[in-house]
């Protein structure tokens, strides 16, 4: 804009300037006359406001700044004008920032407090913070001849330079004789052709404080530009096939953008789903109104039992349904993560990660599977100096130790091969056995040759591991000995010292291409008789302490020994959430879904659990986050240490001047109370300060000594408090206080190993908060639910990450008995939590747990109790068929409509869930079937076992032993193992089949009129049989065989129940058969 040589000043009216001419009084000009401005920061044209006027950031000096630069300066910078240093005020349409004053003249509630996605639109500072001399009042100098593209700011803002002479001061006006220039100084001249002496407003003020204008700024500007160019450099992710050679993404465009975003479910899918949930609630209300007001008098007991069961099912449905009210999906930006934290020519700034792998018995958990998991971790796409893998051997097996030693040796070949050719997956067993096009996207001519050599090396590695397993089958009487002849310390699995061995990561151990390898550490904690070692939770807490001493990464990943990393960028996916500057600070863990290999195509026993991972977990992610499922989870170490989540800063109060003053009487009184409170606090602080001053005046020469002693005492008290919480290890306590991780300086490896041995001793956790408030929480075999619940109660939130390529894959038990035994363990843990003090029904109020999140946790510990009404309800159809009675009276038209509406709402709800959850109908139906199978078997036994364990102290285990096996693909699917869990569902199948036969026979014998009432009873009986059909197939096996023990027990129990019912309530009347005269003369 051209000011005509006049001084530009601010006005009391927004968007107006005052132009002071040399020979005329001030007059007001509209900003529309000053349009066409260019932002002096980003060089973009200044946009128009919603009123159609150019945007004005500073009303004091009119320094031209566009809205994105203005909002960035207020949000990230000094919140002041670069020219006059006046603090920016909030302008309508821009969000509030901290320390903003209350402004009654701005009515902008919608834009006042929140940023919109991408609303800032500018996250960079380019080409220097240059100041226009024609706006600043600079004198004409030789610098005016500089080209337009090299504008140099002429203010130092108080920084003096000895190389600048006093005649180059910015406020000294050289004589100017001649024509009037638009770049002249802003002094008021009566005649522009006559030179004027400077007339400062404050004559006694030193001119040096105003700064200097000279070519000395050129060096500073060049240095500033150099730093900006470093930020603008292009960073390409190593080995990422998604990046092409021509993809130049400047950091200032992408590097400061969010690393992830939420993707809400489309309203066309989620709104009908929510409406149907509300409609289903209404239908349930009408249904129970009808059921309660229409009892069945001739079968009152059956009616009452059925109503009680239905009420429980309705409550269970509410607990399961409403946490799915806000489902979301998430998307990550790995390229932005690299641009922000991996700059070319500089060390990576990605946070270190410690990976935990837990195993117990190498004979049940094959060492080859564990080795593949470890190899996939060592080859992960992450800086090698920022990954450490800790393997917990809770069985102290020499087989695991030797297998890990062989794995470390093979990793020297496998890791560089994977990173050189971008192999996926990086577990060799699954990479070589999967039927896939391994030449896809491979262009290196040596790939085929090296792949064949690597496959041969892996086969040799497998032979070595198999030889170790064969040797370990027969344990010598004197126990195992190590290569140096010393006995293996873990010969007694229940009485052995702690053991730590660093295989990789030490000096001199590199791969075959002389590159550094991630750290690999073997850990076996100490075990002694008489100590409660708390199973897996205790082993994981030992790994936390060992890693805190040896590496102390701020983030932890835990995986089971059979869950390998299927996506080499899994850690980067998690870091997109954890390291996000805006939203990452409150995230306690990132949970990945569990995916499985080796499951049959039909997934007979719902091993994939797709409904839970793709529907329920997405619903929880929209609340406070998914629950922790025990594996495939990246934790924040500080959250595991029991610290509270950072508190969210309270937003400034909203103001509005659109209502009369009398409407704000109550608000005004509240403001007055707040003002009085602030004034009282200030007075209190002043009194305390005055007391301290008077106390300091009375202190004599020995004050410094007493002050030092007080500091030492407070430090010692804090240290004692931390040791009481974390244990008697100064090294670990010091590491726990480091929020961003890191190691102590000048700590020798020998001292660290000695300290690590101490923290895995048996008595280290005595009288500490380990397992109570810190680490994995004790008290349940499902420590995962309890640990996640504690962190959510501290105000943390979690995130559900579902990358396109599954991050982790594992193996699942696909035969019926093993699957039921797995479900039994999960249900037993839920019963233990329900009967403990950590039950979400009564624990954690007043913390940071949201109420819908609490409902999900209540559902996770209450569901085993559903087995009682479920097994009763599944028995009712058989009883009704055997007795000829029914739980519902004669159905009217209104009742028919009500039942049809209820069943329709159930079906449509499932269809809509499948639609937004992207779940197939086969997976949904298998989940419904196994809910009934597990409910009448594993959940029922878990309930009784939990009650015995918690209330009576009786620890009962249901053992599973193999009976037969078949060869071929998915042979484990037909493998049958005897367990008492099979008896209840088999009994339900038999009595319902008997009931169907008896009911149909009775209808045939009684004539046409009896078929109508029979259909309702047959429907419920067939509902039970269809849901138990996968269980029936599992019993019959591949060759349609059923073990004799199952047939005997089931027939015996069914016969007893049937005979008992006939004895109590037979088909005939109590007084014997009723004989009526038929009217025929039989003689």
- Per-residue pLDDT tens over the stretch 448-471: 888 899 999 999 999 999 999 998
Per the model's pLDDT, the better-predicted residue between 696 and 767 turns out to be: 767
Quickly list H helices, 204-333. 217-231, 251-254, 267-293, 300-321
Which pair of structure tokens corresponds to residue 543? 């790994």
CA dihedral angle for residue 933, residue 936, residue 938, residue 943, rounded to 10 degrees: 150
The pLDDT assigned to 87 comes to 83
Q: Calculate the alpha carbon distances from 820 to 611, 746, 931, 975 in Å.
A: 18, 53, 11, 13
Q: What is the mean pLDDT of residues 292-312?
A: 90
Which range is least confidently modeled, 340-344, 476-480, 511-515, 962-966? Answer: 962-966
Q: Which helix (H) or strand (E) holds 560?
A: strand 555-560
The residues that bridge with 261 in the sheet, in sequence order, are 331
Averaged pLDDT score across all residues of the chain: 75
pLDDT at 227 (0 to 100): 62
Give pLDDT, residue 80: 84
- The band of 184, judged by pLDDT with boundaries at 50, 70 and 90, is very low
Question: Which residues have C-beta within 8 Å of that of residue 85, sequence separation ≥ 6?
Answer: 157
* The length of the chain, given as a count of residues: 1083
Q: Across 281-439, where does the E strand assignment appear? A: 328-332, 353-359, 387-393
Type and span of the H or E element at 355: strand 353-359
Kindly tell me the sign of the dihedral angle through the C-alpha atoms of 960, 966, 967, 968. negative
Determine the straight-line distance between the first and last CA of the chain, rounded to whole angstroms.
129
* pLDDT-above-70 percentage for the chain: 67
Of the candidates 463, 437, 464, the residue with the CA atom closest to the CA atom of residue 451: 437
Q: Which residues, including other chains, have CB under 8 Å from residue 119's CB and lie 6 or more apart?
A: none
The CA distance from 439 to 840, in Å, is: 52
Residues 732-741: what's their mean pLDDT?
86
Residues 6 or more apart whose CB falls under 8 angstroms from that of 397 comprise 361, 362, 472, 490, 493
Most confident of 866-875, 891-900, 1069-1078: 866-875
pLDDT of residue 231: 52
The CA distance from 595 to 811, in Å, is 8
pLDDT value of position 1080: 55
Would you state the pLDDT for residue 1065?
55
Q: What is the DSSP letter of 87?
A: B
Q: What is the pLDDT of residue 1038?
A: 54
pLDDT at position 228 is 59
Q: Binning pLDDT at 50, 70 and 90, where does residue 1075 land?
A: low
Q: Which residues fall within 8 angstroms of residue 396, CB to CB, at 6 or more apart?
A: 489, 490, 493, 496, 499, 524, 527
pLDDT of residue 693: 38
| The pLDDT of residue 1061 | 60
Specify the pLDDT at position 597: 84
Q: Which residues pair with 331 in a beta bridge?
A: 261
Q: What is the pLDDT of residue 186?
A: 40
Q: Is the pLDDT assigned to residue 213 strictly greater than 50?
A: no
pLDDT of residue 28: 38
Q: What is the pLDDT of residues 541-599, one digit of tens each?
A: 999 999 999 988 999 999 998 899 999 999 999 999 999 888 888 999 999 999 988 78
Question: pLDDT for 955-996, tens place per residue?
Answer: 655 444 333 334 445 555 555 566 788 888 888 988 888 888
**In this structure, what are the phi and psi dihedrals at residue 503, rounded to the nearest 5 degrees?**
-85, -45
Residue 152: pLDDT band by 50, 70, 90 thresholds? Answer: very low
Residue 157, pLDDT score: 37
Q: Residue 443: what pLDDT?
A: 66
Query: What per-residue confidence (pLDDT) applies to 1076?
Result: 55
Top-ranked range on mean pLDDT: pick from 123-127, 672-676, 975-979: 975-979
Please determine, for residue 168, whether its predicted confidence score (pLDDT) is greater than 80: no
What pLDDT is attached to residue 210? 44
Q: Mean pLDDT throughout 80-109?
A: 72
Q: Is the pLDDT higher at 788 or at 175?
A: 788
Residue 356's φ and ψ, nearest 5 degrees, are: -110, 130
pLDDT of residue 564: 93
Q: What's the rounded mean pLDDT across residues 155-176? A: 40
Which active-site residues does the annotation give?
Answer: 394, 784
Min mean pLDDT across 7-11, 361-365, 652-656, 1003-1007 is at 7-11
Please compute the mean of the pLDDT values over residues 1016-1031 and round it to a whole number: 86
The dihedral built from the CA positions of residue 36, 42, 48 and 54, taken in this order, carries a sign that is: negative
Render pLDDT for 32-71 as a digit per residue (tens, 0 to 9). Answer: 444 567 887 777 778 777 677 788 888 778 888 888 888 8
Nearest to 946 by CA among 957, 936, 931, 935: 957
* Cβ atoms of 654 and 363 closer than 8 Å: no
Task: Give dist(CA 53, CA 30) in Å, integer.
Answer: 9
Q: Supply the pLDDT for residue 56.
A: 86
Who has greater pLDDT, 595 or 144? 595
Neighbours of 664 (CB within 10 A): 15
Sign of the torsion angle spanned by Cα atoms 342, 346, 351, 355: positive
Rounded average pLDDT over 228-250: 44
Q: How far apart are CA 559 and CA 811, in angstroms?
A: 12
Q: Give the model confidence (pLDDT) of 880-891 as tens digits.
A: 888 888 888 877
Lowest mean pLDDT among 335-344, 615-624, 670-679: 670-679
């Amino acid at each position: 804009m051209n000011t005509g040589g006049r001084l530009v000043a601010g006005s009391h009216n927004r968007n107006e300037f005052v132009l002071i001419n040399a020979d005329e009084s001030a007059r007001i000009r509209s900003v529309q006359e000053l349009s066409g401005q260019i932002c002096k920061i980003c060089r973009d044209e200044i946009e128009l406001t919603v009123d159609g006027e150019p945007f004005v950031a500073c009303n004091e000096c009119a320094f031209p700044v566009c809205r994105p630069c203005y909002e960035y300066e207020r949000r990230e910078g000094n919140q002041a004008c670069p020219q006059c240093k006046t603090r920016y005020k909030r302008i309508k349409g821009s969000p509030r920032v901290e320390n903003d004053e209350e402004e009654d003249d701005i009515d902008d509630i919608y834009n006042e407090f929140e940023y919109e996605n991408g609303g800032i639109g500018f996250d960079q500072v380019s080409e220097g913070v240059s100041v226009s001399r024609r706006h600043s009042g600079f004198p004409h100098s030789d610098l005016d001849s500089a080209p337009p593209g090299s504008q140099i700011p002429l203010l130092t803002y108080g920084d003096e330079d000895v190389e600048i002479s006093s005649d180059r001061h910015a406020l000294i006006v050289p004589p100017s004789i001649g024509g009037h220039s638009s770049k002249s100084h802003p002094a008021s001249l009566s005649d522009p052709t006559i030179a004027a002496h400077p007339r400062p407003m404050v004559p006694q003020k030193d001119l040096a404080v105003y700064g200097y204008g000279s070519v000395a700024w050129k060096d500073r500007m060049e240095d500033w530009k150099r730093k900006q160019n470093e930020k603008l450099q292009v960073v390409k992710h190593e080995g990422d096939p998604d990046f092409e050679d021509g993809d130049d993404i400047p950091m200032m465009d992408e590097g400061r953008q969010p690393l992830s975003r939420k993707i809400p479910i489309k309203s066309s899918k989620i709104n009908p789903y929510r409406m149907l949930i509300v409609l289903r609630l209404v239908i349930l209300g009408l249904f129970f109104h009808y059921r309660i007001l229409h009892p069945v008098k001739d079968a009152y007991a059956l009616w009452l039992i059925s109503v009680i069961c239905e009420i429980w099912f309705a409550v269970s449905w509410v607990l399961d349904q409403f946490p799915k009210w806000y489902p979301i999906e998430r998307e990550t930006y790995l390229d932005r993560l690299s641009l922000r934290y991996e700059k070319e020519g500089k060390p990576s700034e990605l946070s270190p990660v410690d990976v935990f792998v837990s195993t117990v018995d190498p004979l049940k958990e094959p060492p080859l599977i564990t080795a593949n998991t470890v190899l996939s971790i060592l080859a992960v796409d992450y800086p090698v100096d920022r990954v450490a893998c800790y393997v917990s051997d809770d069985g102290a097996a020499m087989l695991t130790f030797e297998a890990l030693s062989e794995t470390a040796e093979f990793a020297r070949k496998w890791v560089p091969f994977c990173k050189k050719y971008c192999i996926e997956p990086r577990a060799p067993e699954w990479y070589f056995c999967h039927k896939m096009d391994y030449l896809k996207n491979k262009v290196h001519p040596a790939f085929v040759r090296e792949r064949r050599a690597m496959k041969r090396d892996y086969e040799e590695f497998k032979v070595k591991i198999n030889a170790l397993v064969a040797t370990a089958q027969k344990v010598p009487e004197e126990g195992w000995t190590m290569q140096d002849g010393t006995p293996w310390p873990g010969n007694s699995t229940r009485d052995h010292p702690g053991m730590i061995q660093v295989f990789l990561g030490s000096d001199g151990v590199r791969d075959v291409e002389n590159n550094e390898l991630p750290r690999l550490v073997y850990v076996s904690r100490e075990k002694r008789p008489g100590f409660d070692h708390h199973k897996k939770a205790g082993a994981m807490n030992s790994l936390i302490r060992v890693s805190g001493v040896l590496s102390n990464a701020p983030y932890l990943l835990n995986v089971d020994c059979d869950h390998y990393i299927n996506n080499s960028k899994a850690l980067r996916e998690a870091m997109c959430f954890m390291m996000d500057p805006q939203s990452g600070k409150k995230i306690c863990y990132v949970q990945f879904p569990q995916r499985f290999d080796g499951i049959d195509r039909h997934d007979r026993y719902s091993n994939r659990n797709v409904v839970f991972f793709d529907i329920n977990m997405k619903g929880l992610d929209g609340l406070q986050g998914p629950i922790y499922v025990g594996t495939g989870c990246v934790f924040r170490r500080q959250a595991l240490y029991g610290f509270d989540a950072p508190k969210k800063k309270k937003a400034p109060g909203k103001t509005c001047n659109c209502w009369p003053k009398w409407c704000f009487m109550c608000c005004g009184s509240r403001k007055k109370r707040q003002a009085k409170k602030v004034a009282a606090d200030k007075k209190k602080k002043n009194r305390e300060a005055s007391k301290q001053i008077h106390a300091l005046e009375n202190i004599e020469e020995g004050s410094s000594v007493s002050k030092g002693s007080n500091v030492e005492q407070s430090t010692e008290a804090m240290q004692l408090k931390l040791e009481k919480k974390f244990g008697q290890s100064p090294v670990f306590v010091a590491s726990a206080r480091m929020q961003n991780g890191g190691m102590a300086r000048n700590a020798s490896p020998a001292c660290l190993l000695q300290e690590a041995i101490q923290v895995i001793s048996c008595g280290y956790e005595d009288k500490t908060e380990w397992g109570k408030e810190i680490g994995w929480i004790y008290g349940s075999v499902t420590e995962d639910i309890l640990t996640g619940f504690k962190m959510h109660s501290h105000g943390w939130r979690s995130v559900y990450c579902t990358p396109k390529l599954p991050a982790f894959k594992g193996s699942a038990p696909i035969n019926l008995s093993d699957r039921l035994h797995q479900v039994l363990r999960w249900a037993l843990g839920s019963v233990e939590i329900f009967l403990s003090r950590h039950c979400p029904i009564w624990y954690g109020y007043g913390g940071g747990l949201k109420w819908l999140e609490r409902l999900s946790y209540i559902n996770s510990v209450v569901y085993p109790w559903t087995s009682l009404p479920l097994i009763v309800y599944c028995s009712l159809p058989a009883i009704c068929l055997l007795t000829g009675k029914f739980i519902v009276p004669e159905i009217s038209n209104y009742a028919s409509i009500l039942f049809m509406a209820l069943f329709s709402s159930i079906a449509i709800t499932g269809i809509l869930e499948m639609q937004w959850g992207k779940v197939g109908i086969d997976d949904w139906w298998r989940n419904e079937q196994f809910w009934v199978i597990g409910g009448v078997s594993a959940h029922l036994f878990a309930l009784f076992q939990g009650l015995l364990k918690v209330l009576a102290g009786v620890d009962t285990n249901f053992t599973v032993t193999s009976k037969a096996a078949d060869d071929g693909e998915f042979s484990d699917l037909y493998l049958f193992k005897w367990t008492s869990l099979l008896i209840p569902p088999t009994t339900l199948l038999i009595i319902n089949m008997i009931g169907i036969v008896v009911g149909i026979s009775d209808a045939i014998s009684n004539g046409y009129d009896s078929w109508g009432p029979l259909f309702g009873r047959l429907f419920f009986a067939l509902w039970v049989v269809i849901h138990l059909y996968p269980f029936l197939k599992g019993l019959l096996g591949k060759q349609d065989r059923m073990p004799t023990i199952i047939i005997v027990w089931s027939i015996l129990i069914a016969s007893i129940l049937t005979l008992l019912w006939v004895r109590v309530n037979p088909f005939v009347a109590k007084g014997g058969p009723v004989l009526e005269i038929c009217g025929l003369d039989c003689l």
